[in-house]
Amino acid sequence: MAYFWLFGMLFLLVSILILRVDWTPGRYKVLHHAGPDVGIKTKMLTGWLRIEDGQIRIPGEQSLVLPLNSLRFVAVFRLHGTGRMIRIVHDHDTLFVTVVRFSIAGRFAAIDFFKTGKLARRLAFLEVAS
């Protein structure tokens, strides 16, 4: 019986490490692309999105800072029916964001459907408030 418990705990630990579950509130592991359009073959950048000090910040390979008062439009759509993606239109460009569980080189990712929806609702609320 102890072996089942030990195996279960080992499986849980490996699952958490592989999926890199983030327990930090208000921080989202995302894939993002700044540009007019996104498709299946678009190479996306990875980063951690935080909303703080009246700005959306995504530090990473190409740091991105968007003031909340520059948001014009926030919408959720399904990219080719595979997963949720958020389109953020602001003063200068369009940003595409999706929350992921893990990603391999920005080409393959497991999208977190529910966290992407939660982030979209939060951004839409902030868009209306600003």
Q: Which pLDDT does position 16 carry in this prediction?
A: 65
Express each pLDDT in 61-90 by its tens digit.
788 999 988 888 899 998 877 789 999 999
Pairing of strands 55-58, 108-111: unpaired
Residue 49 and residue 28 in contact, taking contact as beta carbons nearer than 8 Å: yes
Q: Kindly compute the dihedral angle of the four CA atoms of residues 52, 56, 59, 65, in this order, to the nearest 10 degrees.
A: -120
Residue 111 has pLDDT above 90, yes or no: no
| C-alpha to C-alpha distance for 60 and 62, rounded to whole angstroms | 5
DSSP code at position 26: T
- Per-chain mean pLDDT for the chain: 84
Structural domains present in the chain: 24-129 (2.30.29.30)
CA distance 116 to 123: 11
Per-residue pLDDT of 35-56, as tens digits, reads 888 888 888 888 899 998 889 9
DSSP conformational letter for 69: G
Is 70 exceeded by the pLDDT of residue 18?
no
Mean pLDDT, residues 105-124 taken together: 86
